[in-house]
Amino acid sequence: MILDTLEIPIVLAPLAGGPATVDLAVAVSDAGGLGFLAAGYRTAADVREQVGAVRARSERPFGVNVFMPPAVATEPDVYASYVERLQGEADRAGVRLGEPRLDDDDWEAKLAALSELAVPVVSFVFGCPAPEVIAALRARGTSVWVTVTSPAEARQAEDAGADALVLQGYEAGGHRASFTDGDEAPYGLLALLQLVGARANVPLIATGGVGTGRGVAAVLAAGARAAQIGTAFLRCPEAGTSAVHRAALATAAPTALTRAFTGKPARSIVNRFMREHGDAAPSAYPELHHVTAPLRQAARASGDPDVVNLWAGQAHELGSDEPAAVVARRLADEARIALRHANELLGE
């Protein structure tokens, strides 16, 4: 089990859509944690190249995260009025909206590449792969993780043969990893850990709002084998995070879940785009992801925080801009101190 080989129980979150880089993955793995590459929004060829680059630079284990493809296309009438509504944003930014299309994010080609590459860990979000898919990757020596957001999803993933479960709490930045987009009562991370931990027979990795050593210590105490951390690495020099996103992360601005940017619930720092369009945004992923992509790209380029998807977990203001290895080691050191305090309170 890969988790047993880590020097520090810290896993990098995948951070698809810009922040994930080979540099960041290597830095976290070399610090004794588990670095991660994001296959999401990339071609299979890109993923091959990135895996090769990581392997050329480090002998440590690492993971690759893959988006499960959407089960069905969303009917155009579900999102037509939302697209119309965004035309004003496009005019203002001087860009054309993207085409609302369904795609599977190069699913088959990526699976083939990952099977061939036999990477140490492959994790999935947005659904549970079929048992055959999991078995095929395991046969290549890959440890297969499935990201879940509820006890029911955890049971399904364990039944399908997952080696480990990544439990994503309500606090997490970016997209909810839920199997379906109907998740009206999301679980807080600590409740989810206790509920799944009471039943699961596979290791648990905890993610969502864990931004400090205290947070790492807490999820380990709650039964996780490791903490998966995204937001706390977003401001590291190795990350590909945009300048406008970095600036927002360094504030104490509140976050909220929204479908405004992509048609799938995701946690972002609250900005004008979310406030104005969030209530109108339907469930339509990846169609709306493609529609808003040019808007978000233009806003990142021009540095307009009011139109960029500012993915961030609830504890984002506690991050820093230190190198990733420093962050990872500091989190582990602070976690040890936090556990000592807790031991004292329990008279140990």
Min dist CB 191 to a copy of itself, Å, is 4
DSSP character string of 94-111 = T-PPPP-----TTHHHHH
From 94, 141, 184, 201, residue interacting with a copy of itself (rule: CB under 8 A): 184
Closest by alpha carbon to 26, among 1, 3, 55? 55
182 touching a copy of itself, by CB under 8 A: no
Q: Which stretch binds a copy of itself (CB under 8 A): 116-124, 181-189, 280-288, 297-305?
A: 181-189
Residues 277-336 that bind a copy of itself (CB under 8 A): 313-315, 317-318, 332, 335-336
Evaluate whether 266 touches 311 at the Cβ level (below 8 Å). Answer: yes
201 touching a copy of itself, by CB under 8 A: no
In total, the chain counts a number of residues equal to 348
Strands 266-269 and 255-258: antiparallel
Token pair, residue 293, equals 């992509």
What percent of the residues of the chain are helix, what percent strand, and what percent coil, each to the nearest 5?
A: 45, 15, 45
Residues 67-86 that bind a copy of itself (CB under 8 A): none
Q: Which is nearer to a copy of itself, 63 or 203 (CB)?
A: 203
Q: Number of residues interacting with a copy of itself: please give it, by CB under 8 A.
A: 60
Q: Which is nearer to a copy of itself, 42 or 277 (CB)?
A: 277
272 touching a copy of itself, by CB under 8 A: no
Evaluate whether 137 touches 166 at the Cβ level (below 8 Å). Answer: no
Min dist CB 256 to a copy of itself, Å, is 4
Closest by alpha carbon to 288, among 310, 322, 314, 258? 258
Residues 38-57 that bind a copy of itself (CB under 8 A): none
249 touching a copy of itself, by CB under 8 A: no
Token pair, residue 172, equals 């997490």
In angstroms, the CA 207 to CA 203 distance is: 13
Q: Give the interface with a copy of itself as residue ranges (CB under 8 A).
A: 7-9, 151, 169-171, 184-185, 187-195, 197-198, 208-212, 214-215, 217-223, 225-226, 252, 254-257, 270, 313-315, 317-318, 332, 335-336, 338-343, 345-348
